[in-house]
Structure 1
Amino acid sequence: MYSSIVRAQNSFGFFTTVVFVVASLIAVSDLLTPRAPAVGTLKTTNVQVVRGRPHYYSSKKEEYAVIKFSLDADLSSLFTWNTKQVFVYVTAEWPATPAVTGTPSNTTLNQAVIWDTIITAPSADHLANIGPAALKKLQKSAAGKSIDPSRGKLSIKNQRPKYQITHPSGKIAETDNVVLKLHYNVQPWVGLLTWNQDVDIGLWKQLKGGLSKKFSLPAIKKKADAKV
């Protein structure tokens, strides 16, 4: 006859097995939901290069770039009943230039995040890092909706960057072939984290657009030019 401890172990083992099977089904259900994220517009609106201390903890002056941009994107298809939140960020990328040869490298990129945001699903609004008034308005707009169709639709005009771009060399002015790129990371309640993909995988389509036109960082404005 089984002891109480053995019965408890068997019950716990059965419970964990059921939980694992249910969690696996929930994670697989994401693969059956189409994803078709798209970016309509991603472009710079103002680009400046300044010499100074980009952060309050910087120990020396260096060149850093400030890039303002506009963005129109529809990431609403990333939100399902299993989506907890979507992390969205924009990077500036440009080819690395080896110091020895002075020629661009096709295999190495400089990449720096200039802006990011977290978009919560209606079921995770309580985790949003916003004020009480904004949270109340957000929850009210999503009341009774398992999937809010407006979530993930971004329309941003002349957005100031959260982060300035620097380089280990301390010089970044007059850099060519710079592009802005949109990235996303889907964080589910159950399952694996997924990032934007470069190819279509079943019902999951690659991000359309998401890349700006190439541009160059300007030279540092001289004091003589500023007076004029």
Structure 2
Amino acid sequence: MHNLYSRFNNLTALLSSCMMALLAAIALSSLVLTADPKGEVHITSVKVIPRKHASKKQDLAFVNFNITADLTPLFHWNTKQLFLTLEAEYTNTQGVKNEVVIWDRIVRRKEDAVVSVLGKNKYMFREVSASFKNVPPAHYALKYNVMPYVGALTYGEAGRTREPVAFPPRKSHV
């Protein structure tokens, strides 16, 4: 009645349908499992230094910070890894809102999810308009991105500076 090819086709169609239903259930359940991690961000110092780059003067900001956060609630059975960023959020003199990543880290295991970092910016922090002069103070935020095995990426914020941190007057060229 049914040949071998027809039976194999029916079996693989059933198995692939079951697999897709299982993956959809996993993806939906990871959206339901939400956590609220807690962290603190403290900026210890900000220095602004002028630098000549490609015949253009541009200010560079060097930020020293202290981050403490417990991100273990974000790890569950569907969490592959976390991507952490420290972002400086400010509005420049032209009124453009900027969110600049100045530090990042990948956390792959729950055992490493308690973060305590005393460091400085990993990436160059410069103002596109060439100067931090008259730029309003910046907020600094510790943000995370949960990368699951299956499902949508989720984003959130674990900590933020309580008060905005002002850019000091620039030092003389080193």
Q: Which TM class, normalised by the smaller chain length?
A: 0.7 to 0.9
Q: How does 1:61-80 map to 2 (within 5 A)?
A: 61-80=57-76
Among 73, 97, 104, which residue is 1:109 paired with? Answer: 97
Measure, in 1, the Cα distance between the counterparts of 2:137 and 2:150: 40
Q: Is the 8 A contact 2:50 2:172 kept in 1?
A: no
Q: Does 1:195 align with 2:155?
A: yes
Q: Amino acid of the residue matched to residue 59 of structure 1?
A: A
Residue 16 of structure 1 pairs with residue 16 of structure 2: yes
CA change 1:83–1:94 in 2 (3 A) is same
Matched residue of 1:21: which SS?
A: helix
CA drift of 1:3 comes to 4.1
Partner of residue 44, structure 1:
43
Taking the TM superposition and a 5 Å limit, the aligned residue runs for 1:180-219 are: 180-196=140-156, 207=157, 209-219=159-169
Contact 1:86/1:187, CA 8 A, preserved across alignment: yes
The change in CA–CA distance for 1:75 and 1:93 in structure 2 (over 3 A counts) is same
Q: In the alignment, what sits opposite 2:85?
A: 89
1:219 deviates by: 1.5
> How big is the alpha-carbon RMSD for the aligned residues of Structure 1 and Structure 2?
2.3
What TM-score comes out, normalization by structure 2 length? 0.86
Task: Tell me how many residue pairs correspond in the alignment.
Answer: 173
Cα 1:2/1:180, change in 2 over 3 Å = same
AA aligned opposite 2:89: E
Please point out which of 54, 59, 64 is paired with 2:54. 59
Aligned CA distance change for structure 1 residues 44 and 211 (closer, same or farther; 3 Å): closer
Gaps in structure 2 of 5+ consecutive residues: none
- C-alpha distance in structure 2 between counterparts of 1:23 and 1:17, whole Å: 10
TM-score (norm 1): 0.68
8 A contact 2:86–2:141 mirrored in 1: yes
Structure 1 unaligned blocks of 5 or more: 99-104, 122-147, 197-206
CA contact (8 A) 2:93 2:134 kept: no
Indicate how the Cα distance of structure 1 residues 24 and 211 shifts in structure 2: closer, same or farther if over 3 A, else same: farther
Shifted more, 30-39 versus 41-50: the winner is: 30-39
Higher strand share: 2
8 Å Cα contact 1:49/1:218 also seen in 2 = yes
Is the 8 Å Cα contact of residues 174 and 218 (structure 1) preserved in structure 2? no
Which of residues 177, 186, 194 in structure 1 aligns to 2:137?
177
The structural deviation recorded for 1:186 is: 0.2
